[in-house]
Amino acid sequence: MSVALITAGSAGLGAAAARAFAKDGYRVIVNYANNEERANKLLAELPALSPLPQDSGANNFIAIKADLGSRDEINRLIQESVDRFGRLDVIFSNGGWTRFRGMVSIDENVFEDEWDGAFNMNVKSHLWLMHAAKKHLDETEGAFISTASVGGVIPSGSSLAYSVTKAAQIHLMKALAIMAAPKIRVNTVSPGLLLTEWANVFSDETKEKHRQNTKLKRFVTVEDVAEQVLVFAKTKSMTGVNVVMDAGFIL
């Protein structure tokens, strides 16, 4: 039975992906940073969604706490995942970080600690995770998928540091697709504005303006993005691809 590890997986897009993979018959590892209660609540949902037998006594869904800002913690996360299930077929590297500064003022976007934090989480964490998992994904000819952003495709989003580091993340993933070939497929999904808990930093007016600026006049849903992640996990013929899911915002 295939195993998927989903980082930052207890809410928002991560939780939607956990549900999508569970429905498709994967055993799922949900990584979380702090909110154990929320992670366990999600775990309780997954068995009923899964076609896997529930009467064997096997626990097909687990949560592992780990700080994605720490390389040591990432290494532990991978080791605990493999120790528990014996294999890794898919990693959905969904962690990221930002602080809202807007994209108007240079003066508001020159805080070095924020640039360091954004680069650590939006670029290095994905590299460390891929490095730690590579030998396991080699064995299963697996997939590594990360969440970037439309802000990495055009200058936009919550801050300059976020936009620039998301662009770096997309570039990183293309390079990793070359380095991980021929056994591992590496792809990226770049959503537009998702109405997750984090989106509350934007005013209702700003969110509605964004919706009106999309060609489809709709917000991208976490369920839509999760389905694309699942496609990346299952297809054998795509690597080095960044799929923009923004309802036509950048057209």
For 89, counting Cβ atoms within 10 Å of its Cβ (0-12 exposed, 13-18 middle, 19+ buried), the class is buried
Q: In this structure, which CATH number among 3.40.50.720, 3.40.50.300, 3.90.1150.10, 3.20.20.70 belongs to the domain 3-245?
A: 3.40.50.720
Question: pLDDT digits over 105-129, tens only?
Answer: 999 999 999 999 999 999 999 999 9
- pLDDT mean across residues, the chain: 95
Residue 176: both structure tokens together:
């990793």
Cα dihedral: 244, 14, 214, 151 (round 10)? -60
Sign of CA dihedral 230, 235, 236, 242: negative
Distance, in Å, from the CA atom of 211 to the CA atom of 111, rounded to the nearest integer, reads 30
Domain locations along the chain: 3-245
pLDDT at 207: 84
CA–CA gap between residue 34 and residue 8 (Å, rounded): 10
- CA 90 – CA 159 distance, rounded (Å): 30
pLDDT, residue 51, reads: 95
Q: Has residue 244 got a pLDDT over 60?
A: yes
Name the burial class of residue 243, with classes exposed (0-12), middle (13-18) and buried (19+) by CB atoms within 10 angstroms of its CB. Answer: middle
- Is the previous residue joined to 182 through a cis bond, with omega within 30 degrees of 0? yes
Query: pLDDT category, 249, cuts 50, 70, 90?
Result: very high
What is the pLDDT confidence band of residue 54, given thresholds at 50, 70 and 90? Answer: confident
Digit-coded pLDDT (tens) for 58-106: 689 999 999 999 999 999 999 999 999 999 999 999 999 999 999 999 9
Does the pLDDT at position 28 exceed 70? yes
- Structure token pair of residue 83: 């120790």
Per-residue confidence (pLDDT) for residue 219, from 0 to 100: 93
pTM for the model: 0.95
* Residues 182-222: tens digit of each pLDDT: 999 999 999 998 888 777 777 888 889 889 999 999 999 99
Distance between CA atoms of 246 and 168, rounded to whole angstroms?
19
Residue 57: pLDDT band (50, 70, 90) is low
Tell me what percent of the residues of the chain surpass a pLDDT of 90. Answer: 88
Tokens of 84: 């528990």
User: Of 74, 45, 73, nearest to 60 (Cα)?
Assistant: 45
Does position 56 have pLDDT exceeding 70, yes or no? Answer: no
Tokens 């504005």 belong to which residue?
Answer: 193
